[in-house]
């Protein structure tokens, strides 16, 4: 990752309800809150940690230890973010640094 990418951050794709504005990071045929129409949206790249932990067991393709944090994206949904261990604590500000498929990575800022 270049310094430029790190400073700008990455956006998490998702959906936003055209009726009530509810954001979601998962595909849904309609708004899970009001059943209104949803449109593609992008969220982040910054957010606040809601909860976090450190994973110390090996998982295919991932070298432990690494952090996992639920992050409330600014003006967006709560998403699971992989971080470098130790995990940022609840309340910490996080910058999303990359999004590849379902894998979202970030770091404390
Ligand atoms: Zn809605």
Q: What is the pLDDT of residues 22-63, one digit of tens each?
A: 999 989 999 999 999 999 999 999 999 999 999 999 888 888
Alpha carbons 78 and 23: distance in angstroms, whole number = 9
CATH of segment(s) 8-108:
2.40.50.840
Averaged pLDDT, 12-31: 95
Ligand 1 centroid to residue 30 C-alpha, Å: 8
How large a percentage of the chain has pLDDT more than 90?
79
- Bridge partners (DSSP) of residue 82 are 68, 105
Structure tokens at 13: 């794709």
Calculate how far, in angstroms, residue 20's C-alpha sits from the geometric centre of ligand 1.
4
Contact 69, 78 (CB under 8 A): no
Q: pLDDT tier at 3 (50, 70, 90 boundaries)?
A: very low
Distance 60 CA to ligand 1 centre (A): 37
Distance of CA 49 to the CA centre of its chain: 10
Tally of CB atoms within 10 A around 27: 9
State how beta strands 78-84 and 93-100 pair.
unpaired
């Amino acid at each position: 990752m270049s310094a430029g990418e790190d400073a700008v951050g990455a956006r998490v794709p998702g959906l936003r309800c055209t009726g009530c504005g509810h954001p979601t990071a998962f595909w849904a045929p309609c708004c899970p809150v009001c059943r209104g129409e949803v449109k593609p949206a992008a969220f982040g790249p910054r957010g606040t940690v809601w909860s976090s932990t450190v994973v110390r067991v090996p998982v295919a393709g991932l070298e432990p230890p690494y952090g996992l944090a639920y992050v409330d994206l600014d003006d967006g949904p709560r998403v699971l973010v992989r971080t470098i261990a130790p995990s940022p604590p609840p309340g910490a500000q996080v910058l999303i640094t990359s999004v590849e498929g379902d894998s979202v990575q970030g770091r404390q800022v």
